[in-house]
């Protein structure tokens, strides 16, 4: 998986993550054992044929600052990984007033 860490967002996203985890526990799902690390998933790697190129690109842009952005909704997806690629199904959406 290729992901982009959201440094500085922990204090904003941690209450939301805790609420989601509490609600999932209430319906019988086990809590995550790893520490929460806010991030954006950018993609999944299926083959490592050009791993060196990918690592070089990631190292070059390691400290990229994408600037400010507005979050106006959160969508919870179910991810079904298949041999032909993942299938993402939106389960619920939460809109945020004013972004």
- What's the Cα-to-Cα distance from 48 to each of 3, 44, 45, 54, 84, rounded to whole Å? 16, 11, 7, 9, 17
Judge whether residue 99 has pLDDT over 70: no
Distance, first Cα to last Cα, the chain = 28
From CA 59, how far away is CA 94, in angstroms rounded?
A: 34
Residue 76 pLDDT: 86
Give the model confidence (pLDDT) of 50-97 as tens digits: 888 888 988 998 888 888 888 889 898 898 989 888 899 999 998 987
Band of pLDDT at residue 28, cut at 50, 70 and 90: very high
Q: Are 75 and 93 in contact (CB under 8 A)?
A: yes
Contact 17, 36 (CB under 8 A): yes
**Superfamily classification of domain 2-95:** Cyclic phosphodiesterase (3.90.1140.10)
Question: Is residue 98 predicted with pLDDT exceeding 70?
Answer: no
């Amino acid at each position: 998986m290729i992901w982009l860490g959201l440094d500085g967002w922990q204090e904003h996203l941690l209450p939301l993550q805790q609420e989601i985890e509490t609600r999932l526990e209430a319906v019988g799902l086990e809590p995550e054992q790893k520490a929460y690390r806010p991030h954006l998933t950018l993609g999944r790697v299926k083959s490592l044929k050009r791993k060196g190129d990918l690592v070089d690109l990631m190292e070059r842009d390691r400290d990229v600052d994408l600037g400010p952005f507005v979050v106006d909704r959160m969508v919870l997806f179910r991810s079904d990984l298949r041999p032909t690629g993942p299938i993402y199904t939106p389960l619920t959406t939460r809109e945020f007033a004013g972004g």
